[in-house]
Structure 1
Amino acid sequence: MLNLAVILRESAVAHPAAPALIFEGHRISYGELDAQSDAVAAALTARGVRPGDRIALQLPNVPDFPVAYYGILKAGAIVVPLNVMLRAPEIAYQLADSGARVLITWSALLDEAAKGAAEAGLTELYAAGPAPSGAARPFAELTAPCPGPLPLADRDAGDVAAIVYTSGTTGRPKGAELTNLQLYLNADIPGRLFDLRRDDVVITVLPLFHVFGMSSTMNVGIRFGAALSLVPRFTPEAVLTTITRDRATVFDGVPTMFAALLAHPDTAEYDTSSLRVCISGGDAIAARVIDGFEQRFGVPILEGYGMTETAATITFNPTPQDRRVYSVGRPVWGVEVQVWDPDGHPLPPGREHLGELVTRGYHTMRGYHGDPAATAEAFQGGWFHTGDLGYADTDGYLFIVDRKKEIIIRGGYNVYPREVEEVLHQHPDVLTAAVIGIPDERLGQEVKAFVVTRPGRLQDADAVVAHCRERLAAYKYPRIVEFRDSLPLSGAGKVLKKVLH
């Protein structure tokens, strides 16, 4: 038996009075978090939820997220985290595709969530936060105290604990099935690598609905009994204020966060001397950002590499002494990584031997939910194909150079061009469209659309942007629209995106 919620239960047994969550200066102990998540598990079970049922969770970084997350796991159900920026059609798709029977959302998100739930035929909807409307029942109904501790539902190591949605080059979201063992080891091994301690205070500003925040921050912190200082929305001021107030020791972020902190003009007004280590992931971090940040704040940034399907860690720079700056590190314990040429042959070390990174080990997903064809394609040759291009040096340190797939990473979020293109093609004036990412100093990449309009139609960039904004999450819609008479095509009729810029 292995139920991922054991990481909370064991920390609560060992140190019940220690702080588990810090939110706006208030503290929730491990004993309290364990009891509150027990209440959620008991309430869900009383409402007919059974092991293996899917429960969707759409919350920002507030205490209700870990309370609900571990409660769902304790009941033996599967967590389906949803991005808080999704629009109703996106919510409906993920609810229907996962087969979720319950949605727990945030009151400020209720309009879109309720529309999405209705479209998916889901009727059991709860909302946390202030004054939820009559469209949902209050989350408080699921948190009434129960006699405890509640026994954890019997789950096997290979059973799915979470379904986290990602996308491939087709833009169709796919649910990566992450198992109890996969998520447990992805909490245990990385936490040991950078020596997370029980007295650490971890800035938790990475979205908990994203695999980086969920697995590499929340689960790691709970596994080792650290305190998670929850920050619902990233701004440099919010993070710097929280570090100062809570004497935070660990900061996990994406490169755009480090760049924004580095660019903040008044960092000297905050006391960040408590920080001992920072961890960067989600995208390659610029050398100038690493160098400038470390010089300004006097704390090392350890860079790692992972993805949703690996929940999330593949490689890591384990310590400031052993790291190789500008590298994403070496494979963590139990994980194999090779660099393959297009014919599936392993390449030797060296920058000149650039190929696709493939990996295998305990860290890979069980598969894509309900999509055996996509699963088989991803695991060709028995290895998981990352779609990223890179090389290894002679010591096994890996360097990511480019993306084989056309994924755009905007501010740490993956944007899939095909998904945006499909929305563009729904506009009545659009004949055809192509979407690419262009360099952006603040966000890493920005979304740009090239549009060919139907004959005689008005070329109105604002209308195209508004059309996308109504149908896509805020980080996905294009901010830049360029109209063309035609798009460059290959002999096979495919758009040559490499010549667009």
Structure 2
Amino acid sequence: MNSEKLWYKSYSPNVRPHLEYPDLTMPQYLERAAKDFPERDAVVFAGVRLPYKILAAMVNQCAGALTDLGVKKGDRVALMAPNCPQYILGFLATLKIGAIVVQVNPMYVERELEHILNDSGAETIIAYDAFYPRIKNVRSITPLKNVILFALGSPAGTADDNALKAEELLTKYPPQFEQAPVDMDNDVAVFQYTGGTTGVSKGAMLTNRNITANAIQVAEWFETLEYGNEKVLSALPFFHSYGMTTCLNLSIINAATMVIMARFDIKECLELIKQEKPTLFPGVPTMYIAVNNYPNVQEYGIDSIKGCISGSAPLPVEVAEQFEKLTGGLLVEGYGLSETSPVTHCNPMFGRRKTGSIGIPLPDTDCKIMDLETGERELPPGELGELCISGPQVMKGYWNMPEETNKTLRNGWVYTGDIAKMDEDGYFYIVDRKKDMIIAGGYNIYPRDIEEVLFEHPKVLEAVVAGVPDPYRGETVKAFVVLKEGQQATEEEIIEYCKANLARYKVPKLVEFRHELPKTIVGKVLRRTLREEEIQKQKQQQ
């Protein structure tokens, strides 16, 4: 079976199945790029250009500032910001002193932020100043000691004696700083928080080796990458492992220019493409759909794009074909998860692509399909089971969650919770999810998070959330609600309540009131039944 690694025969001739992974941290890769291409732009953002030598010096100043604040090896530093140069500085400076980056989704509301800060034990946060009100509200109930704020454009008017200004801090420190000694395979670089069916967000511990190895694997997959000669359109959020690896880390390892977008906006995106001529554009299907449907899109010079990996949601075939026709570049679907830094599979750039497949495993990535009952029996090609993955990108475990770790990580293999099959050529197909995760617009949404909020509403008796098909977001969130006896509520009322307690992307777009919910004999709500009813309803309306 998998001992023969069926997928090797499907590799492009230029992709090596086994790679070298030097003992270099991300900041050391930055130093290498600064030495090789000191004047080349590392970052282009909102009209600002930062050459590699300047970025490297600023990272060292930031590392000096963090050290002076008492941050040391193994400490956790939270980062809460949209994509911007300051995010990169905070990320790399934290790794330079051997500390751990805690990735915080900037859309989190107080409740979610409080959980991550308390769970990680982060005593320092680097944040965009506009987010300060939320941080201030939870500061006293978390371990936070140092709050470092930076402005984008004019300050957000959140001055506070208890917060430090990043701009003032940096000027005090020299542009040299030695990399702290790091054990590549055991020292954790990043806590990547991932939702869970248990409703509690878990911190996947990604080591220095995990994150550098995954960037090296992805670079190999792109095949035609030229060191020091690429531009990466960085619209995926850096706080997400997918953006961290395919935009930030991939760029630094390859001395590429990051053309950064704080948030994806199609008009701004096309103007940037026209102006900067990026060669790589990692994204999610909604981004490519937006490009395909934009009027007179050819006028924006989109033919500069050579390669794109699409992830986070299934990529419709017609979207990929239309995008390739428009750009002349290659767009292939891949797969990954936070626990694997994240990329594990991708369709070959220049080889055979299969419709509906997530592709074949990246170099040095081993995969198997295990039976759903015991998880101990490996299944032959064509049979459905749980997708399990091992490789240099597989996490060390979940922070402070030994039981969850043992469930997900067995003998070095990540049990993904996704039901999949492998064909005779080593191509993998995701058939279903053991978990009920919803993927909307590239965001992973866990129904339990939303259901917990709905259950707190004083008028709600029962609630269940399901992902229903949406032509633009892939899936959208729909809540099915049973009200308490004698109560009345509107769809708007429920949605507004969710907006106050959840990040925007998790808020249900649709609410349906029911007298009862479909359940099994033991009283478990049949989420899938509701989803299937919704699909049927949509079909009938077409």
Aligned equivalents of 1:413, 1:372: Cα separation in 2: 26
CA distance in 2, matches of 1:13, 1:321: 35
Q: Match for residue 218 of structure 2?
A: 190
Counterpart for residue 289 of structure 2? 259
In the other structure, the counterpart of 1:346 is 378
The answer to whether the 8 A contact 1:91-1:117 is kept is no
Shift of 1:381: 5.9
Distance 1:425 1:412 in 2: 26
Paired position in structure 2 for 1:106: 128
2:250 is equivalent to residue 220 of structure 1: yes
Superposition deviation, residue 3 in structure 1: 3.4
Counterparts of 2:177 and 2:37, CA distance in 1: 18
Looking at structure 2, the residues matched to 24 and 304 of structure 1 have their Cα atoms a distance apart, in angstroms, of 30
Higher mean alpha-carbon deviation, 102-111 vs 130-139, is at 130-139
Deviates more, 1:333-342 or 1:380-389: 380-389
Question: Which residue identity does 1:383 align to in structure 2?
Answer: W
Question: Which of residues 403, 414, 423 in structure 2 aligns to 1:393?
Answer: 423
1:116 corresponds to which of 127, 130, 138:
138
Question: Per the alignment, do residues 124 and 148 of structure 1 end up closer, same or farther by CA in structure 2, a change over 3 Å counting?
Answer: closer
Paired amino acid for 2:467: G
Unaligned runs of 5+ in 1: none
Could you tell me which residue of structure 1 aligns to residue 118 of structure 2?
96
Report the equivalent of 1:144.
171
Structure 2 residue aligned with 1:131: 155
Mapped contact 1:163–1:175 kept (Cα < 8 A): yes
2:10 matched residue in structure 1: none
Alignment match, 1:48: 70
Give the match for residue 315 of structure 2: 285
Which range moves more in the overlay, 23-32 or 81-90? 23-32
Residue 49 (structure 2) pairs with residue 27 (structure 1): yes
1:255-292 C-alpha deviation (Å, 9 max, x unpaired): 11111211222313311121111111112111121122
Alpha-carbon distance in structure 2 between the residues aligned to 1:146 and 1:6: 19
Q: What is the match of residue 19 of structure 2? A: none
Distance in 1, Cα, partners of 2:172 & 2:292? 44
Q: Does 1:296 align with 2:326?
A: yes
One of 200, 206, 209 as aligned partner of 2:230: 200
CA distance in 2 between partners of 1:118 and 1:302 (Å) = 46
Structure 1 distance, partners of 2:230, 2:354, is 24
Structure-2 residue corresponding to 1:172: 200
The change in CA–CA distance for 1:244 and 1:120 in structure 2 (over 3 A counts) is: same
Per the TM alignment, residue 448 of structure 1 is displaced from its structure 2 partner at its CA by 0.5
Distance (Å, rounded) in 1 between the aligned partners of 2:442 and 2:165: 32
CA shift at 1:329, angstroms? 1.8
Count of residues paired in the alignment: 499
- Deviation track 1:306-331 (CA, whole Å, cap 9, x = no partner) reads 11110011112342235445422211
Q: TM-score, normalised by structure 1?
A: 0.96
Partner SS, residue 50 of structure 2: strand
1:369 counterpart = 2:399: yes
Q: CA RMSD in A?
A: 1.5
Cα deviation, residue 34, structure 1:
0.5
Q: Is 288-297 or 203-212 further displaced after alignment? A: 288-297
Preserved CA contact (<8 Å) 2:26 2:252: no
- Helix, strand or coil at the partner of 1:253: coil
- Could you tell me the percent identity over the aligned residues? 38
Residue 67 of structure 1 is aligned with which of 66, 85, 89? 89
Q: How does 1:322-471 map to 2 (within 5 A)?
A: 322-343=352-373, 344=375, 345-350=377-382, 353-380=383-410, 382-471=412-501
Summarize deviations over 1:357-413 as a string: whole Å, max 9, x none.
Answer: 111122111111110010011124652111112221211111222222100001000
| AA at the equivalent of 2:192 | V
Match of 1:37 in 2: 59
**Residues 26 and 249 of structure 2 are in contact (CA less than 8 Å); yes or no, is this contact kept in structure 1?**
no
Query: 2:14: which partner in 1?
Result: none
In 2, the alpha carbon distance for the partners of 1:252 and 1:397 equals 21
Amino acid aligned to 2:155: A
Partner of 2:6: none
* Residue in structure 1 matched with residue 538 of structure 2 by the alignment: none
Given that 2:202 and 2:399 are in contact with CA atoms closer than 8 Å, whether structure 1 keeps it comes out as yes
**Which runs of 5 or more residues in structure 2 are unaligned?**
1-22, 535-542
Q: How many Å apart are 1:189 and its aligned residue? A: 1.8
